[in-house]
Copies of this chain bind each other. A is one copy, B any other.
Amino acid sequence: MSRRSLPVAELFEAARNGDRGALARLLSLVERGGPDAREVSRITYPMSGSGYTVGLTGAPGAGKSTLTSALIGHLRQQQEEVAVLAIDPSSPFTGGAILGDRVRMQDHATDPGVFIRSMATRGHLGGLSLATPEAARLLDAVGRHWILVETVGVGQVEVEIAGKADTTVVVVNPGWGDSVQANKAGLMEIADVFVINKADRKGVEDTRRDLEQMLELSDLAHEAWRPPIIPVVATDKRGVPELWDTVVAHRAFIEGNGELVRRREFRLREELREIVARRLEQRARDLTTGERWAQLQADVLHRTIDPWAAADEMLGTIGA
């Protein structure tokens, strides 16, 4: 039997025993959604929960991939295994990479302690926002205990995904305005740790002051955990050990005060609600095929009824 047709349970056993090809194949099933993805979920869900996700996000060009690469190096020095999910069209991890970045990443390409995967949605019902936590749980269930999730810090779905990590690191650059952009993109609210990357450039203190000021305004400053601000030069790894120590400290802090459990419960509730919504959406698609629907569509196209009123009428006919 070829790997292609192996049942999900066998693929999972192989992946747990270190077969990277099997793991890659399972991740493709998750991306694709459908019955096979459901089967992956059924098997992995009870076995997950010990892994820890660290989100890395920031504007394109902030140096997230270089930072991710530096963190991988740091974790490997400490004999930690690590998996990376890249949800970032500008990431060199996501294929079609620019040569320079690709070369940089090849440091880790042959290391069995590192597993890097870019995420796309090849038909998954819930898009990236539901496929990503499933993929993270799969990595968790096969024994990857540190899972880095790199997302671009622009866009509604992407910022939401970034905020769903156990610890979220927001990456900005020195210079006036960058932290303002981060704030506008909604990154201020999701940050547990700030990194000022490219800290060998001028403007680090300005950026730190901007961030401090925005923290003050946002009330985050008055929470028990005030997001620390770590200057880093990812290209030569300066500040990377301090960053990792801060992530570990944040983990210990939220593990200690019960916040981690609360966050994860909140996320699971949200995910469950979103799945219900997506299933209902699917039901809506099934519904939107009949004759009554065709008539309502025609009415909307002829502008005799507006789309919201048409939707109401349709939902009325099915009692929803």
A46, B128: Cβ atoms closer than 8 Å: no
- Closest chain B residue to A87, Cβ basis: B156
- Closest chain B residue to A306, Cβ basis: B45
Interface string of A173-203 (1 = CB under 8 A from B): 0001100110111100000000000000000
B96, A184: Cβ atoms closer than 8 Å: yes
Distance in angstroms between the alpha carbons of A206 and B297 in the assembled complex: 46
A304: chain B residues within 8 A (beta carbon): 46
Of A49, A94, A287, A320, which is in contact with the most chain B CB atoms at under 10 Å from its CB?
Answer: A320
With A90-B181, A181-B90, A280-B320 given, is the CB distance from A301 to B152 under 8 Å? no
Of A41, A281, A296, A306, which is in contact with the most chain B CB atoms at under 10 Å from its CB?
Answer: A306
Among A10-18, A103-111, A239-247, A263-271, the one that faces the other chain is A263-271
- Closest chain B residue to A158, Cβ basis: B155
* Closest CB in chain B relative to A243 CB, distance in Å: 24
Distance in angstroms between the alpha carbons of A183 and B89 in the assembled complex: 9
Q: Which of B45, B61, B300, B303 is within 8 Å of A272, CB to CB?
A: B300
Q: Which of B184, B275, B285 is within 8 Å of A89, CB to CB?
A: B184
A215: chain B residues within 8 A (beta carbon): none
Is the CB of A315 closer than 8 A to any CB of chain B? yes
Interface string of A277-300 (1 = CB under 8 A from B): 101110111011000000011001
Is the CB of A314 closer than 8 A to any CB of chain B? yes
Interface string of A146-177 (1 = CB under 8 A from B): 00000010111110000000000000000011
A127, B156: Cβ atoms closer than 8 Å: yes
Is the CB of A309 closer than 8 A to any CB of chain B? yes
A155: chain B residues within 8 A (beta carbon): 152, 154-158
A279: chain B residues within 8 A (beta carbon): 311-312, 315, 320
A156, B128: Cβ atoms closer than 8 Å: yes
Is the CB of A123 closer than 8 A to any CB of chain B? no
- 11 other A-B residue contacts (CB within 8 Å) besides A155-B157, A275-B307: A42-B308, A45-B307, A89-B184, A90-B184, A96-B184, A98-B180, A155-B156, A268-B300, A272-B288, A280-B320, A283-B320
